[in-house]
Amino acid sequence: MLYQLALLPLPFLLGNVALASGEKVLGVSPGLSAQYVPSNGQWTCLDGSKQISWAAVNDDFCDCPDGSDEPGA
């Protein structure tokens, strides 16, 4: 069974969100994809604790206390 999963493309396993601008946020569950949309270049952590630059999402550094800005990590 595990070898079959290895044959699937990585975005299928992790999930991804394709934004209108063509950017992708890797590792997002399809059920949460609507929450990964920037507003005026900013994005609010899923726990609501902090607003960060959209450029900080998926940059391999956790800026949000809940880690929601790094969904693929």
The model's pTM is: 0.65
- Kindly state the average pLDDT of the residues 4-25: 47
Domain boundaries, the chain: 2-56
Q: What are the start-end ranges of the E strands in the chain?
A: 16-18, 24-26, 42-44, 51-53
- Kindly state the average pLDDT of the residues 4-17: 43
| 72 and 62 Cβ atoms separated by less than 8 Å | no
> What is the per-residue pLDDT across 18-47, written as a single tens digit (0 to 9) for each?
444 556 676 788 888 899 999 999 999 999
> What is the per-residue pLDDT across 63-72, written as a single tens digit (0 to 9) for each?
999 999 998 7
